[in-house]
Structure 1
Amino acid sequence: MESLGHSAEGMSGTLIHILCRSFFQQLHEFVSHGLPREQAVTCAVTLSRFQHAGWVRIMELDE
């Protein structure tokens, strides 16, 4: 993240790994619960917004 110009101060590589991996685990839940494609896409958009807001907050990004 620092190579992209974002400070990762206070965030260990392990924490970043866990946060990123949890996103993919959440996406997998749509598959494991057999959500129809349209519902999964709607849920994925909501999940993406949720994750984005979290990253903006912890990275102290101005939008």
Structure 2
Amino acid sequence: MPLFNPRLHRWSDHFTWSVDATRVEGVTPSGRATVIALRMNRPTIVAARRRWAEVGWHPPA
């Protein structure tokens, strides 16, 4: 499966944020493969996103 390419694809076509905005969820096969391959939901980054959301820095617009 080809991975998401930001030069060719729009982020919003392939990903969405979880309800609590701490996890990236792939909505297409390419999006799901990219989330897994790049380990986009590692525990440390999920924890960081949770803290960023608490102070209003996350999710990005």
TM > 0.5 between the two? no
Compare relative contact order (CA 8 Å, sep 6+) and give the higher one, 1 or 2.
1
Going by fraction, where is helix more abundant, 1 or 2?
A: 1
Q: Give TM-score scaled by structure 2 length.
A: 0.31
Higher strand fraction (1 or 2): 2
